[in-house]
Amino acid sequence: MLSNMNIPKKLGVSFLVIGMSAAVMTIVFFANIWEIRSATVRSNHAQEVYAKALTLETSILRENSQLRGFLVTADKSYLKSYDEARKEYDTTSRELIAMLSDPAERALVTKSREEATRWRRQWSDRLTAWVRAGRRDEAQQAVRDAGKAVLTSAIVLPLRDVRDQETAAIKENAASQERAITTATIALILGGVMLIGIAITLQMLLSRSIARPITTLTQLMADLARGRNDIAVPGSERGDELGDMARAVVVFRDAAKAKVADDREREQALQAIGAGLHSLSEADLTARLTDLPPAFHQLARDFNGAVQNLSSLTSDVRGSAGAIRSNIEEIRQATDHLSARSEQQAASLRETAAAVGEITQGVRDGAVNAGEANRAVTEARDEAEKGGQIVAKSITAMNGIDQASREIVDIISVIDGIAFQTNLLALNAGVEAARAGDAGKGFAVVASEVRALAQRSADAASDVKSRIVSAIDHVRSGVTLVDETGNALQRIIGKVSDVSAVVDVIAKSSEQQAHSLSQVNIAIGEIDAVTQQNAAMVEESTAAATMLAKECGTLVASVMRFHVDTAGGRKQNLSADNYRSEGFAGSPAIRAA
């Protein structure tokens, strides 16, 4: 398949495969990075919602505890803390509702606000007004009579449901982050290995299908230029430019073989004829032409017959001269044919030179495309580095989440301490109520409720603290995984740099191939020069044939010096001018001379 595909298509397919592989790897990487970012955003939002829900729960519990402290002691310092807790609850609940997008959670917070409004209207506002008016005993009795109705459980329970939902969301987001990081790591490792394997495979295929055949053809052309005509040319069955080059080299080889054979035969014939003519010029009628190539056998027979009969039959001289003229015409035609073949060979060389020029341009374009691929790989490396920066920002954000979670743990520790102190205060109040006897029974009931409330606050704070600690562990795990992702990105950047080096090697190989093709073009130019020299030799052969015709005229003139008997027995002496006018007037070769 590759042997029938032209070189630009081979290079184009190679770079397309590399580009598509890099694009797929980049898309998968950024898809997972986007998933990590989305999970981080969702986790941050869940943390904020959880913190504000916890703040609301703490505020309402603080408001309730300060209310009971005011009912018990009528100390207005409790009212200050009570107002602060009430204001904090109202502000935070509005902020929380604005943050929530889930209708169910908004409904829970709204329900908590409604219950808080109802509790304030029925109990806190009314009881504080009574205490301010000096009706503290009535207020305490109303609390004892109300029992559990005065508790804030209806306000706190919806907030706890919100916190439970956000805790589940935090866990789900952490799991989503872990899955995305694992997927991104696997995809980047596999993509990098695959990209390197594809680049190496393509480099080997291109080297095997282009560089090696070009080197072989270059060596064969150099051998052909040095005169080796027995070379075997592989690759002539290919359907690409290299197959065209191989077939052109086969044509050069066959033409060179034919030319050498023709030159050898012509040289042998000319040498033999020259020797015979030299003998005749010395009046040696014993000279004979022997061992001539098949194309010159008739000339040899005619020449030998003419010499044999020259001394006895001058009447055959004209026929012999005609035969010589005919053979000279054959020589001229042979030289004309050889000239035509030389011109055809020169045309084939020019076409081959043009084809090699196109191949050279294609290889240079391939080198340019390799440079473009190198730039594309560099851009992919830059994008991977940007991904590393994004991961670094993610690490910073998750460290911020970790710090915020630690601060929440500190706040819960403070709340736990307050609950413990409240429990001690309630215990002391119970002891004082026991000392007071029957008059302190109501106060003992209040102290018992305060202790129960303090115990629940401590339990809730402990539960919240354990959950926050679990969330901190998840955040630390996320920070570790994101840090590993950053390290994986750095390794991928190194692999992409390796791919860039491989593509650079391909570009340099293409430049070397272009240089080799330039050398091939130079070799073809040398062959063309040799062909032009052959054409000049053909012209020289034509001129030699013309000179041979002149020598034939001279030979006839020399023969006229001999006195021979005619068929009737009388001697006849023909003049050379008369014979020239009769025997060579119609000879095209003589006329051309």
Closest CA to 120 of 69, 62, 64: 64
Do 205 and 321 lie in a common domain?
no
Whether 298 maps to a domain, the answer reads: no
Same domain, residue pair 76 and 200: yes
Residue 77 within any structural domain of the chain: yes
Q: H-helix or E-strand containing 572?
A: strand 571-572
Flag whether 275 is in a domain. no
Does 157 share its domain with 41?
Answer: yes
Cα 289 from Cα 396, distance rounded (Å): 106
Q: Which residues contact 147 (CB under 8 A, 6 or more apart)?
A: none
Distance separating alpha carbons of residues 49 and 105, to the nearest angstrom: 10
Number of C-beta neighbours around residue 111 at 10 A: 16
CATH code of residue 74: 1.20.120.1730
Domain annotation covers residue 168:
yes
pLDDT at 590: 32
Rounded Cα–Cα distance for residues 45 and 24 (Å): 32
Q: Give the per-residue pLDDT at 1.
A: 52
The domain tally of the chain equals: 2
Nearest 5°: the CA angle 366, 371, 373 is 90
Domain membership of residue 223 (yes or no) is no
- With a CB cutoff of 8 Å and minimum separation 6, the contacts of 399 are 479
Contact (CB, 8 A) for 500 and 374: yes
**Do 210 and 357 share a domain, yes or no?**
no
pLDDT for the residue 2: 54
287-293, Cβ contacts within 8 angstroms, sequence gap of 24 or more: 292/268, 293/264, 293/265, 293/268, 293/269
Same domain, 196 and 49: yes
Q: Tell me the C-alpha to C-alpha distance, in Å, between residue 589 and each of 322, 544, 575.
A: 12, 11, 22
- d(CA 312, CA 564) in angstroms, rounded, equals 6
Residues 375 and 521 in one domain: yes
**Domain at 392, CATH number:** 1.10.287.950
Collapsed DSSP state (helix, strand, coil) of residue 571: strand
User: 283 lies in a domain?
Assistant: no
| Domain shared by 27 and 167, yes or no | yes
Q: What is the largest CA-CA distance in the chain?
A: 193
Q: What is the pLDDT of residue 454?
A: 77
In this structure, the answer to whether residues 48 and 173 fall within a common structural domain is: yes
**SS3 assignment for 300-341:** HHHHHHHHHHHCCCCHHHHHHHHHHHHHHHHHHHHHHHHHHH
Residues of the chain with pLDDT under 50: 565-572, 574-576, 578-579, 581-593
**Residue 315: what pLDDT?**
55
CA–centroid distance for 280 within its chain: 82
Domain extent for 495? 312-427+461-561
